[in-house]
Copies of this chain bind each other. A is one copy, B any other.
């Protein structure tokens, strides 16, 4: 199934999924030249294993709460909080409760 990506100027809904969270899936919102944006959905206790990307990242917790680990440090993000991580840093995410988060990645050539 082709992934539908947003076009420039097309409004994408990034509100909490709420009742839809338990059956929600991680979704790529768009990937363009300089930026990639996705909504990460993780249920309580589930993890995104440690990985790294060349460019900087912002993580914005939309609902629930997540633990972001980066370079052996751990940061708790609650709904409505955002953090950024430098590029090239090994990082992982674990949901402390059912959660969704907006992840923005600066793409490097």
Residues of A within 8 A of B (CB): 6, 8-15, 29-30, 32-35, 37, 55-56, 58, 60, 68, 70, 73, 75-87, 89, 102, 104, 106-108
B104 contacts A12, CB within 8 Å? Answer: no
Residues of B near A55 (CB, < 8 A) are 34-35
Residues of B near A79 (CB, < 8 A) are 15
Name the one of B73, B80, B86, B108 contacting A13, with C-beta atoms under 8 angstroms: B80
Q: A8-B83, A8-B89, A34-B87 are in contact. List 20 more A-B contacts (CB 8 A).
A: A9-B68, A10-B75, A10-B83, A11-B82, A12-B82, A12-B83, A14-B60, A14-B81, A14-B82, A15-B79, A30-B84, A32-B56, A34-B106, A35-B55, A35-B56, A35-B84, A37-B82, A60-B102, A82-B102, A106-B106
